[in-house]
């Protein structure tokens, strides 16, 4: 491609597709699959020192065994606030506070809970595909503007649109792979 504006459209397209995949992977990391994973706590905000702070900034989070996380706050006065935030986060784990640390024991997932999580994974995958289609539409609109403004020829526009379709197909396939892998992880007992 020798048209700078067209190249810019494709660079933006690739960047946005990568971000969509990255967001999906981050979302999946916070879905618990029956074993201890510190990422389930990534989105938890704790009321501390007069404001909201991410849990990771208030203490150390460690995996003590395959099914137990230990949260060791640097300031022991925050134990109650951290415990309250974990309960409010609705991650399905009851914290136990021993006065020094908070333990989170991950229970075995029931078949019903696994099915719910799979539905959630599929929904997130579908949302990622919708985002990818929106990104495709933006790129197609940009190509049409260049074509209508006589900055690129009909053939260049047609080729560019085919390249966009190839990119969306590749991204959709990648989303399906990520969703499939997470489903398999959730359904494996």
pLDDT surpasses 70 at 146: yes
Per DSSP, the chain holds a count of helices (H) and strands (E) of 4, 6
Buried b (16+ CB within 10 A) or exposed e, 90-121: ebebebeeeeebbebebeebeeeebeebbeeb
Q: Please write the tens of the pLDDT for every residue from 26-73.
A: 888 777 666 677 877 888 888 888 888 888 888 888 888 878 889 899
- Residue 1, pLDDT score: 46
Structural domains of the chain, ranges and CATH numbers in brackets: 4-30+110-187 (1.10.132.20), 38-105 (3.30.1360.40)
Can you tell me the distance from the alpha carbon of 57 to that of 78, in angstroms, rounded to the nearest whole number? 12
> Mean pLDDT throughout 122-150?
92
What was the pLDDT predicted at 2? 55
Bridge-partner residues for 103, per DSSP?
A: 70, 96
Give tens-digit pLDDT for 74-120.
888 888 888 888 888 877 778 888 888 889 887 777 888 788 888 98
Predicted TM-score (pTM) of this structure: 0.70
Q: Which residue has the higher pLDDT, 189 or 81?
A: 81
Q: What is the per-residue pLDDT for 137?
A: 94
């Amino acid at each position: 491609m020798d048209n700078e504006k067209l190249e810019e459209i494709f660079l933006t397209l690739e960047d946005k597709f990568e971000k969509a995949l990255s967001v999906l992977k981050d979302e999946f990391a916070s879905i618990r699959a029956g074993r201890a994973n510190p990422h389930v706590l990534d989105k938890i905000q704790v009321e501390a020192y007069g404001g909201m702070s991410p849990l990771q900034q208030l203490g150390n989070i460690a995996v003590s065994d395959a099914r137990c996380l230990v949260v060791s706050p640097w300031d022991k006065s925050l134990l109650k606030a951290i415990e309250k935030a974990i309960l409010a986060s609705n991650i399905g784990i009851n914290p136990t506070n021993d006065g020094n640390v908070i333990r989170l024991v991950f229970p075995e997932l029931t078949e019903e809970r696994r099915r719910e999580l799979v539905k959630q994974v599929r929904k997130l995958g579908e949302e990622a595909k919708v985002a990818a289609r929106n990104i495709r539409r933006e790129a197609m609109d940009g190509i049409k503007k260049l074509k209508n403004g006589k900055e690129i020829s009909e053939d260049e526009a047609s080729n560019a649109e085919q390249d966009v379709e190839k990119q969306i197909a590749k991204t959709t396939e990648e989303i399906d792979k990520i969703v499939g892998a997470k489903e398999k992880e959730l359904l494996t007992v």
